Homo-oligomer: A and B are copies of this chain.
Amino acid sequence: MKFSASKENHLKAIFHLQHEQGIVTTNALAAALQTRPASVTDMLKKLKEQKLLIYERYKGFRLNNEGKKAAIQVIRKHRLWEYFLVKKLQFGWDEVHEIAEELEHISSKKLVDRLDAFLGFPDTDPHGDPIPDSQGRFLQRRQISLSELPLNKVVQVSAIASQTTEMLELLQHKNIRLGTRLEVRKKFPFDNSLEVKIRNRPPVTLSAQVAKNVLVKDDE
A residues in contact (CB < 8 Å) with B: 85, 88-91, 98-99, 102-103, 106-108, 111, 114-115, 118
Contact = CB atoms under 8 A, between A and B. Distances in A.
Contacts of A115: 89
A107 B99 CA distance: 8
B88 A118 contact: yes
Nearest to A108: B99
Protomer copies: 2
18 contacts: A85-B111, A85-B114, A88-B118, A89-B111, A89-B114, A89-B115, A89-B118, A90-B114, A91-B114, A98-B108, A99-B106, A99-B108, A99-B111, A102-B106, A102-B107, A102-B108, A103-B103, A103-B106
A88 to B, nearest CB: 6
A121 to B, nearest CB: 14
A138 B106 CA distance: 27
A89 B111 CA distance: 8
Nearest to A91: B114
Nearest 8 Cβ contacts at the A-B interface = A89-B114, A102-B106, A99-B108, A99-B111, A89-B118, A88-B118, A103-B106, A89-B115
Kindly name the residue among A89, A98, A107, A118 whose own CB sees the greatest number of chain B CB atoms within 10 A. A89
A191 B85 CA distance: 58
